[in-house]
Amino acid sequence: MGSIIESGWLYLITHFSDFQLACLGSFFLHESVFFLSGLPFIYLERAGWLSKYKIQTKNNSPAAQEKCITRLLLYHFGVNLPVMIFSYPVFRYMGMQSSLPLPSWKVVLTQIIFYFILEDFVFYWGHRILHTKWLYKHVHSVHHEYATPFGLTSEYAHPAEILFLGFATIVGPAITGPHLITLWLWMVLRVLETVEAHCGYHFPWSLSNFLPLYGGADFHDYHHRLLYTKSGNYSSTFTYMDWIFGTDKGYRKLKALKKPGIEEDGIKEM
């Protein structure tokens, strides 16, 4: 398996420059993973399939879904792509490389774990700041236009928020200067995680059922149902930051009730 990956990587670095791989390659990979993982949830919602696993009973209109996709394409090409291009010198300066040999799986795993922990910490505080009155009204409210989220809404946000919270995603790699393949793996995992957190479904096979401290869709969906500044559940991936600082109290009270037949849509802050 390792030799196959190395052969494929050798082909890439032989036929494309570091700049092309780090910027255009990263952008293409991001768009492919994001839309291929997010689009199915639109069709699930429209068709009503697997509705028993849907967290909220409300559905988004086709017009709202199409608006989300249109804005995303605008943001991705107008914000994300330029950021990737202008970030290239920074990552080169910090030690990013693309040559063979590839890093060992131990190095890759250690760096990815570090990125998840650091990203979650930075994201938590940045997200809490965005829920202050002024920033919520003028910036973060764009992301909360969808009280019933679906996978693609994970990256639907004000351009200022894309830059602000995007820092949480790139700070880890900027510190460690990873191999490009590690950066790509981190990007793929982060995209899949945030799409799953916004998907609007809680399946029996959801990771939150198996991984302790992992938030997932049920944890983050609660955050979207509560509008304005004090919704809680601010973390991106894990739950321990909200638990430590008590910003998940409403969510935990709701889960503790476990009363069947309660309509949770539009629940008030607890």
The percentage of the chain sitting over the pLDDT mark of 70, rounded to a whole number, equals 93
- State which amino acid sits at residue 199: C
**Alpha helices (runs of H) in 2-49, residue ranges in sequence order:** 2-15, 18-19, 26-47
pLDDT per residue as tens digits for the range 188-213: 999 999 999 999 999 999 999 999 99
Give the separation between CA 24 and CA 197, rounded to whole angstroms: 26
Give the separation between CA 6 and CA 157, rounded to whole angstroms: 37
- Matching residue, tokens 């479904």: 201
Q: Is the pLDDT of residue 13 over 90?
A: yes
Give me the residue spans of the domains in the chain: 2-257
Q: Give the model's pLDDT for residue 229.
A: 61
Under the banding of pLDDT at 50, 70 and 90, the label for residue 261 is: low
Q: What is the pTM of this model?
A: 0.92
Q: How many helices (H) and strands (E) does the chain have?
A: 12, 0
Under the banding of pLDDT at 50, 70 and 90, the label for residue 252 is: very high
Across the range 90-114, mean pLDDT stands at 95
Q: Give the model's pLDDT for residue 267.
A: 44
